[in-house]
Amino acid sequence: MTHSLQIRTLREGHCEAEHAVSAVLVDHSGAVLDRVGPPMITTWRSGAKPFQLEVSLDALIARERAQLGPEDLAIGAASHSGEAPHTARVQRLLTELSLTSEALYCGAHAPVHTESAYALVRAGHAFSPLHNNCSGKHTLMAAATRAMGCPEDYRPSDHALQRRIAESIADHAHERLTARVTDGCGVPCMVLSIDAMARCFAALSHAMTTSPESTLGTIGLAMVAHPWWVSGTGRSDYALAQHAREPLIAKVGAEGLLCIAAPSRGLAMVLKVHSGHDDARMAAMDALASRWLGELIDPQAFEPFCTVRNVIGATVGTREARFV
């Protein structure tokens, strides 16, 4: 068992940054198979989205649930880039559910996709809640809240929907929640061990293979079938899904978190860059995938993220993993 993993950023051979990593690999039952780095408790951030979506979907009335296709489920579990098709899909979802953007409490921010943000600025358009990377999740939370007959502001931790989400996640995790804090989009964010996060993704993987008609199984299958809707152009989790040789769910969370489910292998893994540096995440995944997932991911998935380039695109360095 390897004890530690470090990611080094080298600029023309000189080290300019080092990042420690913790990661865990579990089987379909959630049993730990291997780990690197110390066990870690941290915020789950957007890694929780498939499980937040599960509870929202289960709260919908049957007619509303029947209206939703796989792309809707994918955008509901997404940290999307705010590209035009993403916002159009969220708007379509709102319309299907007889909601407007005024029902969303996520707030507005610039699209994660830089060119989409520039295009909006050049056109003189303001950023809206639709551009928020969490807008799909919030759309389904708003619909679930209405179906439950609860107060329309679904963000408080004592809201009935958020209590259901916390209970469901604790069941999947086989662990009491350490705490809940406030996520960037305003809803509660779980604080868990990375082992517990991996057990949740093991449950997602298991549902896809043993109960594909279940709510969690349909979410997983939608994420596998439509990874661009879950992420966006040039994003790391989309690159992993694109270059996977077998079905794969890759879901990032803010501050250097990455969650993986490999259903055909009955495996799940979670890695966390201690510094929260997102750029180090793919170098860590490259090293861990080679050890834990074999040939599942084509190595070309990692090259754009492990190469350091300057403003004009010239290669000036690399990000490399080192097991200690």
When pLDDT is cut at 50, 70 and 90, the band that residue 178 belongs to is confident
Residue 296: name the closest of 254, 227, 229, 250 by CA: 250
When pLDDT is cut at 50, 70 and 90, the band that residue 214 belongs to is very high
Contact 302, 316 (CB under 8 A): no
Statement: residue 290 has pLDDT above 80: yes
When pLDDT is cut at 50, 70 and 90, the band that residue 7 belongs to is very high
Contact 249, 219 (CB under 8 A): no
Task: Please give the structure tokens belonging to residue 215.
Answer: 């709510």
pLDDT at 259: 98
* % of the chain with per-residue pLDDT over 70: 99
Task: Kindly give, in sequence order, each residue whose CB lies less than 8 Å from that of residue 85, ignoring residues fewer than 6 positions away.
Answer: none
pLDDT at 177: 86
63-89 average pLDDT score? 97
Residue 68: name the closest of 90, 52, 101, 46 by CA: 90
Report which residue type is found at 145.
Answer: T
272-298 average pLDDT score? 96
Q: 233 vs 19, 72, 112, 115, 230, CA distance in Å?
A: 26, 18, 10, 10, 10
The structure's pTM equals 0.96
Contact 84, 116 (CB under 8 A): yes
Strands (E), 28-61: 32-36, 41-43
- Which single residue is written with the structure tokens 């993704």? 201
Task: Kindly give, in sequence order, each residue whose CB lies less than 8 Å from that of residue 67, ignoring residues fewer than 6 positions away.
Answer: 96, 97
User: Burial, 41: exposed, middle or buried (Cβ in 10 Å; 0-12, 13-18, 19+)?
Assistant: middle
Residue 237: name the closest of 192, 270, 209 by CA: 270
Q: What is the pLDDT of residues 163-172, one digit of tens each?
A: 999 999 999 9
Statement: residue 5 has pLDDT above 70: yes
Q: Where are the domains of the chain?
A: 5-323
Contact 40, 55 (CB under 8 A): no
* % of the chain with per-residue pLDDT over 90: 98
Rounded Cα distance, 81 and 78, in Å: 9
Average pLDDT, the chain: 96
What single DSSP character describes residue 246? S
When pLDDT is cut at 50, 70 and 90, the band that residue 3 belongs to is confident
Directed axis angle between helix 194-210 and helix 215-225, to 10°?
Answer: 90
Statement: residue 2 has pLDDT above 60: no
Q: What is the pLDDT of residues 21-63, one digit of tens each?
A: 999 999 999 999 999 999 999 999 999 999 999 999 999 999 9
149-153 average pLDDT score? 97
Rounded Cα distance, 114 and 265, in Å: 35
When pLDDT is cut at 50, 70 and 90, the band that residue 176 belongs to is confident
CA-based end-to-end distance of the chain: 11
Instruction: Could you please state the CATH topology (level 3) that the domain comprising 5-323 is classified under.
Output: Beta-lactamase (3.40.710)
Residue 97: name the closest of 139, 138, 134, 151 by CA: 139
254-280 average pLDDT score? 97
